[in-house]
Structure 1
Amino acid sequence: MNLQQLRYVVATAEHRTMTDAAKSLYIAQPALSRAIRDLERELGMTLFARSGRGVVVTAQGRRVVKLAREALDAVREIEELSAHGQTSDTELRIASTPSLEPGLAGRLLPAYTAERPGVRVHIVRCDGRDGVVNAVRDQRADLGLTDLPVPADLVSHPLERQEIVLISPPGVELPDPVPMSRLNGMRLVLPVPGSARRREFDALFARYGIAPVPAVQLDERGNWLNTVRSGAASLLWYRGMAEQALRAGLRVRSLDPSVRRVIALIHARRRLPALAQEFLSVAEGGSAA
């Protein structure tokens, strides 16, 4: 049993459906269901009874949910005590997704280290928004840089709105900007079905009434540009990846209408170390919407 499982139990009890609980946790619904089943098997008890499309907390489950909430509250209190003792630290840990790291390293970090040259900043590289959220929750990072939305147990500080662009193999003839309608039937690299990121893309496509072809479906973002370079498909991702894509010989085009996402620094709901508070001040002071 671990803290992540306790969070899963509490979220499922609060939302009363696996689907809504999974959305709030930014994980796939099958993954949540499997984690709950594994925990029930480990404890030797049934925590949730399935009822139609939802779940009902059992008598044993109510006791476990109560204790899980108390345990998570205790962990938050311990984190607050820990934060009070971190004022002498000289290392700041920031989690970031690969696509946002260039902006972090190229703009935010130089501005911060110019004011605090004695501070060592360690970038915790994470595979997507879920990885950043988990790094902050698990205290592997003091702050996280990711796009919104994030779960309600985290605090977000919006910094800017970053454009989503189309990255295509060389030789693909398209106008710039690319009308959204041209994505209909286009072969795209997409996250796996059921993931939080895939749901966001599907909502975007539904909004414009288009149906791209999922040519490749994977969450390993490190392989996305290689897949585009092979000519298998195009990719929708942030303008921050444009320089890396151009160096790889790929084409980068805007969309019409333009699509932008809010980029934010996030942290847990607790007293932040002084270094993290100072970084927030520098980042918000120099951010542009």
Structure 2
Amino acid sequence: MNLQQLRYVVATAEHRTMTDAARSLYIAQPALSRAIRDLERELGMTLFARSGRGVIVTAQGRRVVKLAREALDAVHEIEALSAQGRSPEAELRIASPPGLEPGVAGRILRAYSAEHPKVRVHIVRCDGRDGVVSAIRDQRADLGLTDLPVPADLISHPLERQEIVLISPPGLDLPDPVPVRMLDGMPLVLPAPGGIRRREFDSLFAKYGVAPVAALETDGRDDRLEPVRAGAASLLWYRGTAEQAVRAGLVVRSLDPSLRRVIALVHARRRLPAIAQEFLTVAEGGSAA
């Protein structure tokens, strides 16, 4: 038995399907199934039983999952102690996509640093929500700042609602705000197919009966604005990126009806280090609806 197997057990219990658990762990589903079977043989007990397209946790499995969570939490705390022992000052790691850094993250960080000047806050830059979730699961960050929803194995603390805007090349004959119906046939930079964010956009388009043209499909943060700068497409993103877009000579417009997403701090289902809990307290105390 090893820590990797314990992480597999916890993920399978939380997602209730091998496919979703494997996706969250960034491994192949057959490899996850094989690892679980090997652990069950080693322990001499059945942890999961098949139920339709998913799995259910057995009575013995529930006890093992509980202990596995406690063991992983203990490992996390030991690693935190070790990190503090190597550094004269405590370090708090916050995962965030670039679009949220200047606004939400910046405001919270200033308030937190004023109250806790001896804590060094390190921003772990991530490619969108999936990158934030991955950083939390891999324990590369203590907290994450992202839009909702997030997978059920993470706990979220909503902070504010942020507007989605249309970022376009200059010279387009568009009103402000732009009616959502005008997105029909418009060349847009869209998230890559198959991901959570792309499914959300597709659901939004279906709701309003529009079908934009995918000029570029990418999850990379560095290449989103390039087609917009080149005049080939527009981009739906957060108001927090508006300053960067305006500096690049682009035009930012609201949408009608107004579209907003909830921004939240998220973390794993484990006991937070004291410095992370204090950051959460400061963030919730200064958040705005």
Using the size of structure 1 for normalisation, the TM-score is: 0.80
Q: CA deviation at 1:193?
A: 0.9
> Cα distance 1:250–1:268, how it changes in 2: closer, same or farther (>3 A)?
same
Alpha-carbon distance change, 135 to 229 in structure 1, aligned in 2, over 3 angstroms? same
* Matched residue, 2:72: 75
Asked if the contact 2:17/2:55 (under 8 Å) is kept, the reply is no
Map residues 231-242 of structure 1 onto 2, 5 A cutoff.
Answer: 231-242=231-242
Corresponding position of 2:179: 179
User: Structure 2: which 5+ residue stretches go unaligned?
Assistant: 41-47
2:30 alignment counterpart: 37
Which consecutive unaligned segments of at least 5 residues does structure 1 have?
58-62
* Residue 66 of structure 1, CA deviation: 9.4
Structure 2: which amino acid aligns with 1:196? I
Provide, for residues 124-171 of structure 1, a one-character-per-residue CA deviation record: whole Å limited to 9, x for no partner: 001111111121122211111000111122111111000000001111
Partners of 1:173 and 1:7 lie apart in 2 by 53
Task: Give the ranges of 4+ consecutive aligned residues of structure 1 lying more than 4 Å apart after TM superposition.
Answer: 1-12, 38-45, 63-73, 80-89
Taking the aligned partners of 1:118 and 1:229, their CA distance within structure 2 comes to 41
State the aligned residue count.
Answer: 273
The residue type equivalent to 2:129 in the other structure is R
Whether the 8 Å CA contact 1:144–1:267 is kept in 2: the answer is yes
Q: Is the 8 A contact 1:187 1:234 kept in 2?
A: yes
With over 3 angstroms needed to count, the CA separation of the structure-2 counterparts of 1:35 and 1:238, relative to structure 1, is same
Name the CA distance, whole Å, in 1 between partners of 2:23 and 2:29.
15
2: CA distance between counterparts of 1:259 and 1:26? 29
Q: Does 1:252 align with 2:264?
A: no
Identical columns (%): 63
Counterpart CA distance in 2 for 1:56 and 1:141 is 30
Paired residues of 2:187 and 2:233 also in contact (CA < 8 A): yes
Q: Normalising by the residue count of structure 2, what TM-score does the alignment of the two structures yield?
A: 0.80
Note closer, same or farther for the CA distance 1:278–1:209 as it changes in structure 2 (3 Å cut).
same
Q: Determine if contact 2:160/2:264 at 8 Å carries over to the other structure.
A: yes
Q: Which residue of 1 aligns with 2:243?
A: 243
Per-residue CA distance 1:179-211 (angstroms, 9 max, x = gap): 010000111101111111100000111111111
Q: Which amino acid aligns with 1:102?
A: P
Report if the CA contact (8 A) 1:166-1:253 is conserved: yes
Deviation at residue 41 of structure 1 after TM alignment? 7.6
Within-5 A mapping of 1:1-289: 2=4, 9-10=12-13, 14-15=16-17, 18=19, 21=20, 35-39=28-32, 54=53, 71=68, 74-79=71-76, 90-289=90-289
Q: Which amino acid aligns with 1:137?
A: R
Equivalent residue letter for 1:168: S
Aligned equivalents of 2:233, 2:220: Cα separation in 1: 15
**Counterpart for residue 45 of structure 2:** none
SS state at 2:189 partner: strand
Q: Residues 36, 68 of structure 1: CA spacing in aligned structure 2 closer, same or farther, 3 A cutoff? A: farther
- Displacement of 1:67: 7.1
